[in-house]
Amino acid sequence: MLNGLIISLPLVVLVYIFWQLFIFLDQIIPIDDKKPGLGLLVLLLVLIAIGFLGNTLIAAPIKTSFARFLKRFPLLKTIYSAISDLMSAFVGKKKSFKKAVLVDFSQGEGMQKIGFITDEELEVLNGDFENKVAVYFPHAYSYTGDLFLVDKSKIHPIDSPPSDVMKYIISGGVSEIKKDDE
């Protein structure tokens, strides 16, 4: 009985929360009590229209003004660009964390650290980095991390989805990593 309760209680609570959220959202625009979901549908269509208009008509002038503002303050522009690039690496179209790797950090001690290759060419650095790659090491319980240039011989690929590896690192090693074939 206790096992059944442990398994079913979270599911029941989740279904209840979604049902209450559905009812709440459906009543924001009350249209017809006999057709549940119609108010929610209208609400979603209105939000999509506002998002589209906001992104096309309103956002463009604001983005232009903000870009002009940042040009006047180079330090703010640098910080904003770095944060923006980092966020787009996690969730944007760019998604830079495609290759999860283990990196050997000790001389025969067996200590390794999990990271993500972010740049294999290092052209932006204008130096002799032929055998090195840029590896980003996220911190646990944070969205910060460190960037190291690592010799290619110290890198071992991880055969898991990068999103699972990132979740594993950020959780401090508590989350499970699934293999690609699962």
**Cα dihedral 73, 79, 85, 87 sign:** negative
Q: Do the beta carbons of residue 167 and residue 143 sit within 8 Å? A: no
CA–CA separation, 116 vs 22, rounded Å?
39
Q: Give residues with Cβ within 8 angstroms of 177, minimum separation 6.
A: 158, 160, 164, 165, 168
Band of pLDDT at residue 178, cut at 50, 70 and 90: low
What residue has token string 């229209």? 49
Q: Sign (positive/negative) of CA torsion 32, 33, 35, 36?
A: positive
In this predicted structure, the answer to whether residue 24 has a pLDDT above a threshold of 70 is yes
Q: For 96-118, what is each residue's pLDDT tens digit?
A: 677 889 898 877 677 888 888 88
> How large is the average pLDDT for residues 119-142?
83
- Return the pLDDT at 16: 92
Phi, psi of 37 (to 5 degrees): 100, -15
Q: Give me the domains of the chain, ranges plus CATH numbers.
A: 1-72 (no CATH), 93-170 (2.30.30)
Across all residues in the chain, what is the average pLDDT?
81
The larger pLDDT score, comparing residue 26 to residue 157, is at 157
Task: Give backbone dihedrals phi and psi of 113, rounded to 5 degrees, phi first.
Answer: -130, 145
Residue 97 is given by DSSP the state -
Cα separation, 124 vs 119, in Å, equals: 10
CA distance 55 to 51: 6
Is the model more confident about 26 or about 89? 26
For 162, other C-beta atoms within 10 Å of its C-beta total: 15
Residue 132 has pLDDT above 80, yes or no: yes
- What is the pLDDT, as a whole number, of residue 91? 61
Does the global pTM surpass 0.75? Answer: no
Residue 169 has pLDDT above 70, yes or no: yes
Which neighbouring-strand residues pair with 28? none
Query: How many Cα neighbours within 13 Å face the side chain of 75?
Result: 0
